[in-house]
Structure 1
């Protein structure tokens, strides 16, 4: 099953550290990484920095578009007021049919704040419980959305190719 997951860490370098563990987790067959991105938000910074890791070089630009849309719309507007609601609503419409819900987007937007980081993953054949064990010792929160086959097809068609 394809899974979109966001692991939120309580320190700006936590997601980068977790990303460094992905290669060995994939070699141990805990997950098959389709693509991932690391978002880091240092304390005092106006907005977070996102680094797309290009797991699939042939489709890197397409996956980069997903991460750009997610992080740009979620974090480029103020957290309060109507602007945040409009941005999340527009983003929910852009991800309609992919299995990424408005509630997921709202939770990401409210939990990823200055001083934290997040690891965004799209995986196949993953055992997220065992991956979480691999990440033990870090302050993390897991948000996942398991895709139906139709949602996976929509996500892959929209951002990852066929």
Structure 2
């Protein structure tokens, strides 16, 4: 079963730093992520999702390839590539994989302007080693939402605080 973890920061850079560290941890086989997204909030209504994979570009590349092959059958590979790339980009634009975009935008309203939040959908993890690495990253993030057990959530809070267990409790959920 996958676990959802949302960590908020006061700066945008801290969110991107955490995502970079999570990707490194995945390469070291400490964590297996289904999705990781950094959400930034520049102003009251300006919320941007920074997906790890650009589905629009991936759709355009895949569509262009298949369009070229179909175009070769009809002796017009250039037209086939153009139509395939356009339809692939359109399909990629409206595809939502991983964490629901509307949910992320809704939760991002709890982030102060100029801040960021990292949404992580974790398939598997090695908690002790992962938490140790998180405590070294710093930035003092705070957990907004999680599907972890209370004990695991407290360990995550302690790691984000650099080992300090005097982290403020989470805001009450609605």
- TM tier, smaller: 0.5 to 0.7
Mapped to 2, the partners of 1:22 and 1:121 lie a distance apart of 9
TM-score, scaled to structure 1: 0.55
Q: Higher RCO, 1 or 2 (CA under 8 Å, sep at least 6)? A: 1
Asked whether the 8 Å contact 1:15–1:117 carries over to 2, the reply is yes
Q: CA deviation at 1:63?
A: 1.7
Q: Would you identify which runs of 4 or more consecutive aligned residues in structure 1 move more than 6 Å?
A: 55-58
TM-score, normalised via structure 2 length: 0.52
> Does the CA-based 8 Å contact 1:34-1:123 persist in structure 2?
yes
The secondary structure found in structure 1 opposite 2:15 is: helix
Give the distance between the partners of 1:125 and 1:55, measured in 2 at CA.
Answer: 23
* Residue 26 of structure 1: aligned partner: 26
Deviation at 1:109, TM superposition (A): 3.9
User: 1:128 Cα shift?
Assistant: 4.8
**CA-CA distance at 1:11 after TM superposition:** 1.0
CA deviations over 1:53-102 (Å, ceiling 9, x no partner): 129979x83326x4422134x1xxxxxxxxxxxxxxxxxxxxxxxxxxxx
Q: 1:132: how far off?
A: 4.0
What is the aligned residue count?
110
Q: Which residue of 2 aligns with 1:141?
A: 142
Structure with the greater alpha carbon radius of gyration: 2
Could you say if the C-alpha distance between residues 49 and 62 of structure 1 is closer, same or farther in structure 2, counting changes exceeding 3 Å? closer
Which residue matches 2:104?
71
1:45 shift after superposition:
5.5
2:96 paired with 1:62: yes
1:11 aligns to what?
11
Counterpart in the other structure of 1:51: 50
Aligned to 2:119: 120
| Distance in 2 between residues matched to 1:35 and 1:55, nearest whole Å | 12
Q: Which runs of 5+ in 1 are unaligned?
A: 75-104, 148-162
Kept in 1, the 8 Å contact 2:10–2:112? The answer is no
